[in-house]
Amino acid sequence: MVDTPAPGTTGRLTAAQGAALYVGAVLGTGVIALPALAAEAAGPASLLAWLLLVLVSAPLAATFAALGARHPDAGGVSTYARMAFGARAAAVVGWCFYFAVPPGAAAAALFGGAYVEAAVGGGTTTVAVTAVLLMVAVTTTNAVGVQLAGRVQLALAGVLVTFLLVAVLLSLPHASTGNLRPFAPHGWTAIGPAAALLVWSFVGWEAITHLTAEFRRPARDLPRATAAAVVVVGGLYLAVAAAIVAVLGPAAAEADAPLGELFAVALGGDARWPAAAAALLLTFGAMNAYYAGAAKLGAALGRDGALPAWLARGDVAGDVPRRSLTVNAGLSFLALLAVLLAAVGPRPLVLLTTGSFVTVYAVGVAAALRLLPRRSRTWYAAVATVGAVLFLLVMTGVYLVWPLVVTGAALLYLRLSGHRTSGAAAPVSTPGGAAEGGVGTRTAPVGSTDGT
């Protein structure tokens, strides 16, 4: 039997393709480099930071899936913020996401390029060329449409899971409990900074909210896709991080390419090429999902008046938001160029980007507490994440300056563009199309003062 779209929708993504997009967005480049950065910060105790974030990710993912299933719209978290807190909050959270993707994409591309450079040599030139080619490939894939992006992601997910499981299983005979001692060489307080770094590894649950209207049956497929992705991502992150610490020992903290070192142990001899292949697949998967989400979000923000109306084309499900995609790709290239010229490396970009996404999480969870049915399972899931999100905000520290700057810019844009904001929640479609709590069929422009 053919799985046809739900009545009144034009979405084409299946639950399997959605799960693959989630896996790509969340698994992404975190597994390439962050096990080493976390081990450097907290030693073997970094495994507790991984476990903490895996546990937090389950209710967080469930919260965003519930919001997306009830209110499928290209605006994603921006739409939920509009419904809960009004147009200014929607613009702020939309800007925080949209303008976090370019520096995040630059960092991801650099991570992938570093693995290729380790395999073929060539120094900074190889890293830069690889990063540019990744950006071009991802932009081209998304320019064709989200259905192709979903199909590509589904194929990538299968290859990635196989790659990582093989590396973990074949390296286990070389694991040693001695590598876990001392367990907390930098003290137990070091787990906090390690967790702040690892937030990069778990951003992505919010990225697919911008594609919810692209699903054939959002109310059914989103929970299925999310549940599958939580199991796959959580299991793989814990397995890979544990293997790297137990197999590589103190060397894990010093490895530029920890996954490559794990492949070398698992396969014996020179494993730089398999590691480079895995890194490229992981990087492409993450960038593919984020470019797709950001492109849709930019179109929605243009539609709602939070960005120039020129970007609005492509916000409807089934359409390709090529203008928004072009802007996102251009900003990503500029971010990459700035990093290469400044020679600062990807670490500042990681923390700047995670500062923005933690802000998005905070607003999204707050919106969920107002929009989801009280005392439902998904409402309790949102409640369960509040403390963790506040903890991550504290741990992000000075890097919250970037989302604060973006917030000021968003509010200034609204003021200069002449839009009036009444703070009323705007209508957004529900799976059944019924108006619920101010919910209707479309999201109103930012300038709307009557909520219609």
Question: What number is the average pLDDT over the span 235-243?
Answer: 87
- In the block, tokens 């290729």 appear at 116
pLDDT category at 400 given cuts 50, 70, 90 is confident
pLDDT category at 251 given cuts 50, 70, 90 is confident
pLDDT for the residue numbered 269? 66
The yes-or-no verdict on residue 2 having pLDDT over 70 is: no
What b/e string do you get for 200-212 counting C-beta neighbours within 10 Å, with b at 16 or more? bbbbbbbbbbbbb
Question: What number is the average pLDDT over the span 58-62?
Answer: 84
- In CATH terms, 15-74+100-345 corresponds, of 3.50.50.60, 1.10.150.20, 1.20.1740.10, 1.10.287.70, to 1.20.1740.10
Q: What percent of the chain has pLDDT over 70?
A: 80
Question: What number is the average pLDDT over the span 395-420?
Answer: 83
pLDDT for the residue numbered 424? 38
The yes-or-no verdict on residue 10 having pLDDT over 60 is: no
- In the block, tokens 């730089």 appear at 272
- Residue 123: which region, alpha, beta or left (left: phi > 0; alpha: psi -120 to 50)? left
CA geometry: angle at 216 spanning 214 and 219, to 5°? 95
The model's pLDDT over 66-76, given as tens digits with 9 standing for 90+, comes to 888 888 877 77
Peptide bond into 250 cis (omega under 30): no
What are the structure tokens assigned to 327, written together?
């802007």
pLDDT category at 148 given cuts 50, 70, 90 is low
What is the rounded CA–CA span in Å between residue 452 and residue 445?
9
pLDDT for the residue numbered 134? 93
- Mean pLDDT of all residues belonging to the chain: 78
The model's pLDDT over 30-50, given as tens digits with 9 standing for 90+, comes to 676 678 778 888 888 888 988
pLDDT for the residue numbered 219? 79
pLDDT for the residue numbered 131? 92
The yes-or-no verdict on residue 422 having pLDDT over 70 is: no
The yes-or-no verdict on residue 421 having pLDDT over 80 is: no
pTM above 0.85, yes or no: no
What is the rounded CA–CA span in Å between residue 156 and residue 63?
26
pLDDT for the residue numbered 230? 84
pLDDT for the residue numbered 152? 67
What b/e string do you get for 48-67 counting C-beta neighbours within 10 Å, with b at 16 or more? bbbebbbebbbbbbbbbbbb
Residue 280 half-sphere exposure toward CB, CA atoms < 13 A: 19
The yes-or-no verdict on residue 442 having pLDDT over 70 is: no
Other residues' Cβ atoms within 10 Å of the Cβ of residue 8: 10
3-state secondary structure the chain: CCCCCCCCCCCCECHHHHHHHHHHHHHCCHHHHHHHHHHHHHHHHHHHHHHHHHHHHHHHHHHHHHHHHHCCCCCCHHHHHHHHHCHHHHHHHHHHHHCCHHHHHHHHHHHHHHHHHHHHCCHHHHHHHHHHHHHHHHHHHHHHCHHHHHHHHHHHHHHHHHHHHHHHHHHHHHCCHHHHCCCCCCCHHHHHHHHHHHHHHHCCCCHHHHHHHHECCHHHHHHHHHHHHHHHHHHHHHHHHHHHHHHHHHHHHHCCCHHHHHHHHHHCCCCHHHHHHHHHHHHHHHHHHHHHHHHHHHHHHHHHCCCCHHHHCCCCCCCCCHHHHHHHHHHHHHHHHHHHHHCCCCHHHHHHHHHHHHHHHHHHHHHHHHHCCCCCHHHHHHHHHHHHHHHHHHHHHHHHHHHHHHHHHHHHHHHHHCCCCCCCCCCCCCCCCCCCCCCCCCCCCCCCCCCC
Domain edges within the chain: 15-74+100-345
